[in-house]
Amino acid sequence: MADVFSIASMVGASVVALLALLRWILTIVDRRRRRSFLLTFPRELRDEQVMAALRALHGLLPPAWRWLVRIPAVVIEALGTAEGIAHQISVTAADAEYVLGQLGAALPGLRVNEIAEDIRQHTTRAREMRPVGTGQLRTENRAATNAGVLAALQPLHAGEQVVVQWASHQ
């Protein structure tokens, strides 16, 4: 009986190690195959449209059995410089068509241009903001909250850049 248990334990440990190795390899491959896009939003954009677009990205969530192998991630950034604000999205090549399709459907008039490399400058300092406690983020006044955060980061001088990054992984 002990031999059967030992063999089953070894097989189980081997499967877990193999899955961890596969996930590690796929993460490296995904990082190398990321695609970045510059987003230009329409002037008439409403909060509800943006929330619908972000909720639509929930469709990236794979079936539970695939979580062991790959968890998709989307990174959306607002980049502020002395010249103005730009928006960038970065996704894996495998997810790009789905993500851009969902964004285009939820945000009519959105212009998307693929860029060869990140438009971010070299980062010398970083800060992280997150909610305190276990509650949800308050979203009843999104526009005022975002305007307040951006205003607190002003003014920017030549060579300075502020990046507000939202990283979504299921």
pLDDT score for 76: 85
Q: Tell me: do 95 and 159 sit in the same domain.
A: yes
Check whether residue 14 and residue 44 sit in a common domain: no
Tens of pLDDT, residues 45-104? 887 888 888 888 776 666 666 656 566 678 888 888 888 788 888 888 888 888 888 888
Cα–Cα dist 99/10, whole Å: 40
Domain that holds residue 129: 34-169
CA dihedral 127, 74, 36, 59 (to 10 degrees): -160
Residue with more model confidence, 127 or 93? 93
Residue 100 C-alpha from the chain's centroid? 13
Both 19 and 78 in one domain: the answer is: no
In terms of pLDDT, which residue wins out, 78 or 153?
Answer: 78
pLDDT > 60? residue 1:
no
Asked if residues 88 and 118 have their Cβ atoms less than 8 Å apart, the reply is yes
Q: Is 88 in the same domain as 160? A: yes
Residues 51 and 122 reside in one and the same domain? yes
pLDDT at 15: 78
- Rounded to whole angstroms, the Cα distance separating 145 from 111 reads 25
Q: Judge if 83 and 145 occupy the same domain.
A: yes
The number of distinct structural domains making up the chain is 2
Q: Could you tell me if 34 and 92 are in contact, meaning their C-beta atoms sit under 8 angstroms apart?
A: yes
**Both structure tokens of 118:** 């990140």
How many Cα atoms within 13 Å fall on the side-chain side of residue 151? 6
Query: Distance between the two ends of the chain, CA-based, in angstroms?
Result: 41
- Give yes or no: residues 64 and 136 share one domain: yes
CA dihedral 111, 109, 163, 82 (to 10 degrees): 80
Pair 94, 75 in one domain: yes
